[in-house]
Structure 1
Amino acid sequence: MSAAADLARALDPVAVFRQGVLGPNGQPAEADEWQETVMRSGAPRQLILCNRQAGKSTTVGAKAVAGMLYDPGLYLIVAPTLRQSKLLFDKVAGVYKRLPDVSRIETSNKTELFLENGSQLVALPGDDDATIRGYSGPKAIYIDEASRVSDEVYAALRPMLATSGGQLIALTTPYGRRGWFYEAWEFQKDWTRTTITARDCPRITTEFLEEERTTMGEWRFRQEYLCEFVDTDEQFFSSDLIDAMVDNTLEAWA
């Protein structure tokens, strides 16, 4: 690769996507507009709310590879289970291995990828906050299926970024009106938000969505494809009913 081509890739993470991501036909894929925006964003705190199969994992995978190449350091992947973390890890590793003229891989296994330039990619389980402690100063933390990652695990991750200035990027479909992701999305400032529904995805047809709505039921369809925070079938009382029972004008007794 020429110096000019390498500089172009360093300046634009979308170039990594074009070189390392393949479409269903085996040809280089073109990113959607929202994917380009996410890959180019330097916002320190990002929430990505997407329907299933929109391409959020591929987007974050290319973004992570760009970071590992041109901003060497520690990159962490966390999901509700190690199996899920490894799925995103495989996306990142796959993009990296398809790129020409990159740093040599020194270590590669199912959960770790170490590069000659000093970058490290590590997949971690998110089912126990005690097992992920000990890492510090990551360049980025990627939380996959973030709406299903517990508040305790999320609380254990944030201090890792205390001195590094690294990014925290959470990607997910909704999972009810509960948990840290819902609270962050609805109420907290200092987050950059991206929403993509199935209706925004050119690869999903109207006919398929109508079939899914009929097959899976209304609330699941609205959650999985329209990215709505709806009550799950596990809740005995609806969130609207619970909210109606609370009077926020009353003062709490000491």
Structure 2
Amino acid sequence: MPAWAIDLEHRLATRTETATDLLWLNPGRIMAQSGLTPDPWQREVLESPARRVLLLCSRQAGKSRTAAALALKTALLEPPAEVLIISRALRQSAELLRKVRELYRGLQQARPRRPPPFRPVPLRQLDAADVCLGPGEQVVQQSVLQMELANGSRILSLPGSPDTIVGFSAISLLVIDEAARVPDELYRAVRPMLAVSGGKLVCLSSAYAQQGFFYHEWTQGAASWQRIRVTAQECPRISPEFLAEELAAMGRRIFDREYGCQFTGVDDAAFDPGTVARALSAPAGAEAPLF
């Protein structure tokens, strides 16, 4: 029996079933309650007990939504959790946190499949969209880049810069979005955040050049990494007709990188990942990034 199922049995034996218990029973409910049908690989990510996960994914397969669901699951099930999502740019960070909020609101409609009946009970009404999911599970504060729950958990979604990220500690879950385009110095700066907490590290990305930490960990990294690969052909929402059009439009090499999870040679990239990342972020006190 999976570890999460064993823990569920203990939870149900000691207290009344809540939405939190339902998530332990079926973590995919986080997405299903928002009208999304999680793919098998998305369920695998949400249910994985591995502490180190690499997700190599086709464009538009749903990796950002998966990252949002994993962040919300951790915040609800492991209070008081510190969840940190790192993206390349401010716009991506804000979009990821927006997806977390959407999934949270979808859980308001959660109902158990068996007695006792469950009703969301508000602890402190902030607005019509923020309703308690169970004891201590209500949004008490949210901003563009932060969402805090009454159970003590906090989700932060920040643009990545080694100068501004350093300082966070006791991280329960660290997610690096589009990791293949994140500079190595940022990766080295955030790993120590997990030293004391023993937190989980998830790096997700589409393929890019044959360089950088994500490529290295995918091809030569330790066996402790769980590696999950999802091509466009494995995504039911991407039609064969669309892929045929894309292949004709962009050519085999770029198509295989964007949709086939194949890393391309360094010469295929106009700029290295570090240069791109520095253009999308700015150090503390500097002018706004270029993009």
TM-score (norm 2): 0.74
Mean CA deviation greater in 177-186 or 62-71: 62-71
Q: Spell out the pairing of 1:149-188 with structure 2 (5 A cutoff).
A: 149-188=182-221
In structure 2, list runs of 5 or more residues that go unmatched: 1-14, 109-119, 121-132, 272-291
Q: Secondary structure at the match of 1:42?
A: coil
When residues 198 and 117 of structure 1 are mapped into structure 2, their CA distance, relative to the original with a 3 A threshold, is same
Q: CA RMSD in A?
A: 1.7
User: Contact 1:104–1:116 at 8 Å: present in 2 too?
Assistant: yes
Alpha-carbon contact 1:174-1:223 (below 8 Å) kept: yes
Q: Which runs of 5+ in 1 are unaligned?
A: 22-27, 237-254
Which digits, 9 at most, give the CA deviation of each residue in 1:182-226, with x for residues without a partner?
000000111000000001111111111110011122221111100
Query: Cα deviation per residue 1:61-115 (whole Å; 9 max; x = unaligned)?
Result: 1121111111021100101112222222221121112212322211111101011
Aligned match of 1:192 in 205, 226, 235?
A: 226
1:92 maps onto 2:100 in alignment: yes
Query: Residues 170 and 193 of structure 2 are in contact (CA less than 8 Å); yes or no, is this contact kept in structure 1?
Result: yes
1:39 aligns with 2:52: no
Alignment size in residue pairs: 227
- SS of 1:114 mapped into structure 2: strand
State the TM-score, normalizing by the size of structure 1.
Answer: 0.85
Q: State whether residues 57 and 63 of structure 2, in contact with CA within 8 Å, keep that contact through their aligned partners in structure 1.
A: yes
Residue by residue, what CA displacement relative to the aligned partner does 1:11-51 show, whole Å, maximum 9, x if unpaired? 431122222x3xxxxxx222111111111002100000000
Q: Give 1:5 deviation, angstroms.
A: 5.2
Which aligned pairs between 1:91-130 and structure 2 lie closer than 5 A?
Answer: 91-100=99-108, 101=120, 102=133, 103-126=137-160, 128-130=161-163
**Contact map agreement 2:209 2:269 (CA 8 A) in 1:** no
In structure 2, distance between residues paired with 1:151 and 1:171: 15
Q: Answer yes or no: is 1:223 the counterpart of 2:230.
A: no
State the partner residue of 1:9.
Answer: 23
Distance 2:175 2:97 in 1: 10
Say which of 182, 202, 206 aligns to 2:240.
206
- Which aligned runs of 4 or more in structure 1 are off by greater than 4 angstroms? none
Deviation of the 1:55 alpha carbon: 1.1
Q: Among 58, 77, 89, which residue is 1:81 paired with? A: 89
Whole-Å separation in 1 of the counterparts to 2:88 and 2:71: 19
User: Counterparts of 1:232-247 in structure 2 under 5 Å?
Assistant: 232-234=267-269
8 Å contact kept, 1:80–1:149 = yes
**Conserved 8 A contact 2:30-2:106:** no
- Deviation (angstroms), 1:235: 6.3
Please tell me whether the aligned partners of residues 88 and 144 of structure 1 are also in contact (alpha carbons under 8 angstroms): no
Deviation at 1:141, TM superposition (A): 0.6
